[in-house]
A and B are shown apart, each in its own frame.
Chain A
Amino acid sequence: MSCHFRIGVGKVKVGQPEIKIGLIPGAGGTQRLPRLVGVQKGVEMMLTGKMMGEEDGLETGLLDMLVDSLDEDSIDQVLSSLPLHSFRSKRTCLLSLKDPISSSISYLSSLSLLGRGRQAHRAIVASVGVGISPQHFETSYQLSNDSNYSFSTSNLTPFQQGLLEEECWFKKLLISSESKALRYLFFARNTAVKPPTRLRSSLDVNVGMVVGGGTMGRGIALSLVNCVGRKGGTVVVVERDEETARKTFGDIKSELDLGIKLGKLSREEAGF
């Protein structure tokens, strides 16, 4: 976001997901995003952590241009269509806000966000400086119908000051137990589905049987393949009738096919 232009190549996902681990965007993210997409959208993106595709990125103004691929021809095309004459005015920190919004605080509270990364929510609002004090945001549910609490973009913190504020909040959050817990959860979840090595079975199993070839049954059959496969063993899946048995056989084969495609399994290993 600190670049003058952002060009999306092919399929792109953009967003600020830091809230999901109880942090706020760092390195000026809280300050640049609202200047690119507007305060309302920017705060929303940071509070939800939701990612958007390239089309939405273009529409919100986060991306300046989309190209299918980047080769010599398309680079020329990109360069010729960018407004390079206004290079300086495209510096994100110098951008003026596009949305002179006067949304009330009810907008933010309507996002139903409190609960996850609670401290980070407050930190984002405070560092962007949208005119709601952290204390107000804290109680925004109660205040959501109170029209006195409105914020306007004139309250946006000046860029340099915003950077300092962001850094200060970021450091506070980094050592908060809330963010530590969310980070732990994040990595634990990732580790759980990506074991570093293959499961080694201590069971002496040559023939494994699964009764029922539904989603679970097929998954279990695959783990049995992993378990007995080293010894040239057999995996038997039992289905309720011949027709289902044929279909299930095909389904398991396609799962193995996917394993090959993902490079987790060689063709020989899959027994093809």
Chain B
Amino acid sequence: MTLRYVLQVISISNDQEFRDHVLEADIIIEAIPEKLALKQSLFSKIGDILRSKPESDLPIIGSNTSSLDIDSIASFLPTNLQPRFLGKIFPFLQAKFYL
């Protein structure tokens, strides 16, 4: 089986690029440091960007948090996105081995 993919690593400071990718994404997983304030600012930002997107086209959004309250994190998103929010811890070893 052949994998064909494009891998891009971008900086969040590049607003336009970040915006474009958020609008394009089918799934967005958050894996930033376990600080509620950081997560709040990220999810508000993502929520703002996605405000213009039609309901049927919204991505799945996940947080990889292991120690923070998942409901508090969800509350940072606008209400239309909250049903599409998941707490998802990835088994890292598995992620690597699945490769």
**A positions within 8 Å CB-CB of B:** 192-195, 198-199, 203-217, 219-226, 228-242, 244-246, 248-249, 252, 255-256, 259, 264-265, 268-271
Contacts and interface: CB of A to CB of B under 8 A. Distances in A.
Contacts of B95: 219-220, 222-223
Contact of B31 (A217, A233, A255): A217
Given A220-B64, A225-B7, A255 B96 contact: yes
Most chain-B Cβ atoms within 10 A of its Cβ — which of A211, A222, A234, A252? A211
Contacts of B8: 234-237
Contact of B26 (A208, A215, A240): A208
Interface residues of B, number: 41
A241 to B, nearest CB: 5
A252 B9 contact: yes
Interface in B81-99: 90-99
Interface in B59-74: 59-60, 64
A255 B99 CA distance: 10
B30 interface: yes
14 contacts: A194-B97, A195-B98, A203-B26, A204-B26, A208-B26, A213-B9, A222-B95, A228-B5, A233-B5, A236-B25, A238-B12, A269-B1, A271-B3, A271-B7
A234 B9 CA distance: 11
B99 A242 contact: no
Given A207-B24, A271-B4, A240 B96 contact: no
B30 to A, nearest CB: 5
B3 A229 contact: yes
Contacts of A270: 3
B52 interface: no
A210 B31 contact: yes
A104 B91 CA distance: 45
Contacts of A204: 26
Contacts of B6: 232-235
Contacts of A211: 12, 28-32, 42
Contacts of B42: 211
B21 A208 contact: no
Given A199-B98, A210-B30, A213-B9, 5 more contacts: A220-B95, A223-B94, A236-B10, A249-B9, A259-B99
A195 B29 contact: no
A244 B31 contact: no
A248 B9 CA distance: 7
Contacts of A252: 7, 9
A192 B60 CA distance: 26
A244 B9 CA distance: 9
B56 interface: no
B54 interface: no
Contacts of B59: 209
B27 A264 contact: no
Contacts of B90: 216, 219-220, 223
A235 B12 contact: no
A236 B17 CA distance: 11
Contacts of A265: 3, 99
